[in-house]
Amino acid sequence: MIDWKDPKRTDAIRFQMVDPNNLDEVYGDIEDVQLGSSDITYGYYTDTRYSSKFTFLRGNNYVPNMWVRIVHEVPSEGYVNELGTFIPTSPNVQYGGAVTESYGLQSPLWALSNDLITAPLSFGNGSGLVGAFEAVCKKCGRPYLLNNPNNYATAKAIVYEAGTSYLEIMNDIAGSSNNRVDIDGHGRLILEPLTDKRYQSPSWELDVDDPRSMIINGSIKMEPQSDEIPNRVIVINGSYIGTADIPDGEEYSAAQRGYVKAQKYNGTGVKSKAAAQSMAQAYLDGFSKITQWSMETMYFPAKCGETVWFTIDGVKHLCMFQSIDPVDLDTMTMKITLREVANG
């Protein structure tokens, strides 16, 4: 197992040329990449999930329109991890002592946000939503994986009008079945269930007082996000509507704030008003005081959406990795934002 706390670890970063129509086909490594001008960003709430940029000396071996895969290796441990597979955008050419080209790199989800259907697309009443997701992936020619998603059936026929993007359709299908669309480092789309982060086993631990802490000293900031907490939740499934409100005497209630902040949820599967009411209350109970923590750390392979025990001043906070922005591929450090989901 790799010791991610070891500052003497030797890392290697490779930029590979990948066939846009066959993500398993790699045509070799890109030469003369300037790591100091290359990084990656990840975001749990970002529609495209990840993006990047890279710069290389002009005249190298990069073949235009090849997709780019960034791979992290720890050669001494035989460790290989695909950090992302990207679509290059228009280059920025910089003239000087040496001519360089810089490319923005976007995830395949970005491409799907720009790919619009040319005719209406429909799924009949009772259609399985996982099957609908698979059908859309095949229609737009993108490889995909199913990570144990919820498989609800449609309560009524769904029609997507011409001009709707594939990404919008996928996110709608996922949202209607309590799933989420993601993408892996190989460039494959993923359909996976939404999970309550409060009950998700933490994948990592970050302790400010650990003598071998991966946190870079002096980089921690706390950012309360109480304005994001709703004081009303509404669950809707056709004529079945349930609502739940924070009681007037409590913090964040409409009476205390002087305004209503409502959050709406799709009640797929709800078959009575009582069930909708119960679901609304459960969603409302799931909100707690929201705090974000940002800090710089040594690189370790955290993923947005994973949970972590973050300990500061002797108190453990259960948090989710909300964003990693950026991973500096030269220094192998990263800036992370943690979103607190519960206190230990």
pLDDT digits (tens, 9 = 90+) for 200-243: 899 999 999 999 999 999 999 987 667 778 999 999 988 899 99
Predicted local confidence at residue 283, as pLDDT? 84
> In this model, does residue 118 exceed pLDDT 90?
yes
Cα–Cα dist 59/77, whole Å: 33
Q: Higher-confidence residue: 72 or 194?
A: 72
Closest CA to 146 of 116, 181, 173, 117: 181
Half-sphere exposure of 273 (CA within 13 A, CB side): 3
Domain 197-225+289-343 falls in which CATH fold? Answer: Elongation Factor Tu (Ef-tu); domain 3 (2.40.30)
Cα–Cα dist 132/125, whole Å: 12
Q: Higher-confidence residue: 275 or 112?
A: 112
Polymer length in residues for the chain:
344
- Residue 109 gets which letter from DSSP? H
Q: Are 51 and 40 in contact (CB under 8 A)?
A: yes
Predicted local confidence at residue 344, as pLDDT? 46
Cα–Cα dist 257/204, whole Å: 36
Q: Are 30 and 15 in contact (CB under 8 A)?
A: yes
Q: Are 84 and 70 in contact (CB under 8 A)?
A: yes
> In this model, does residue 138 exceed pLDDT 90?
yes
pLDDT digits (tens, 9 = 90+) for 271-323: 788 889 988 988 888 776 668 899 999 999 999 999 999 999 999 999 999 99
Q: Is 20 left (phi over 0), alpha (psi -120 to 50) or beta?
A: alpha
Predicted local confidence at residue 257, as pLDDT? 87
Closest CA to 45 of 341, 337, 344, 342: 337
What's the pTM?
A: 0.83
Amino acid at 265: Y
Q: Name the helix (H) or strand (E) containing 131.
A: helix 129-140
Tokens standing for residue 15: 């930029």
CATH code matching the domain that covers 112-193, chosen among 2.60.60.20, 3.10.580.10, 3.40.640.10, 3.55.50.10: 3.55.50.10
